[in-house]
Amino acid sequence: MTELDQTQTPTQPESAARPWYISLIFALLAVALLLGGVWLYARVRNPFPFFGTTYTPPQTAPIFSATDQNGQLYKFSPFGKTTALFFGFTHCPNICPLSLTYLNKLKERLPEAQRQDFQVVFVSVDPERDSPAQLKSYVEFFGHATGLHIAEPALNNVARAYGAAYSKADIKGPQEYQVNHTTATYLIDKEGQLRLVWDYTQLSQLDKLQADLAEVMQ
């Protein structure tokens, strides 16, 4: 019996197994790239981590007419100055006086050059009781805000344009009642753009407010 010659193809040596630490390095690099992409995307969408709630994109602040605390016609057109706009009333027991106090402290923290370019505007949601004279004594007691009186129905239109609301409550008489109102402060840049909103509960954190303001005033 003849033995058949068999030509055997030499087998390729098996690849050596990849060391575990090489796989770990590749995995860590992949995670780093993913996190870097997420971070970059977030920075592009919101380049500064604002403390307040931002308008994305910014919106044009509605312009309106009013009577200021000196009884003069006042056209609210915030171009040229950064503005903190707040709706409230002079008989407010706590939120309004504290808001004006914190906003005045925020202004006092600014360098002199920036202080001149920042204004606080207080719009009364109680036009029946808040005369210009009443507003004058009130805003000057708490700082250097501009107090504005707007008669109805124009007041309602202005408030709605900013997303603010108000209504009478605890009515005991024509001159004895409270007003429930939105407690937000609207920050408007010098180009007249609504940039962010600070809630009343945030106003005591002046360091964070100042950081927001510095970014908006750039």
The predicted-structure confidence for 170-188, as pLDDT tens digits, reads as follows 999 889 999 999 999 999 9
- Residue 129 CB coordination number (10 Å): 15
| pLDDT for the residue 26 | 63
User: What is the torsion angle, in degrees rounded to the nearest 10, for the CA atoms of residue 70, residue 195, residue 211 and residue 115?
Assistant: -30
- The proportion of the chain whose per-residue pLDDT surpasses 70, expressed as a percent, equals 78
pLDDT of 180 reads 97
Alpha carbon of residue 184 to chain centroid: 9
| pLDDT tens, residue by residue, 76-89 | 998 999 999 999 99
Share of the chain above pLDDT 90, in %: 72
Residue 35, Cα to own-chain centre: how many angstroms?
Answer: 27
CATH number of 53-216: 3.40.30.10
CA 50, CA 43: separation in Å to the nearest integer? Answer: 12
Residue found by looking up tokens 């002199």 in the block = 112
Q: For 16-51, how does the pLDDT look when each residue is reduced to its tens digit (9 = 90+)?
A: 566 666 766 766 666 555 544 433 443 444 457 899
Whole-model pTM over 0.85: no
What pLDDT is attached to residue 37? Answer: 45
Position 173, amino acid? G
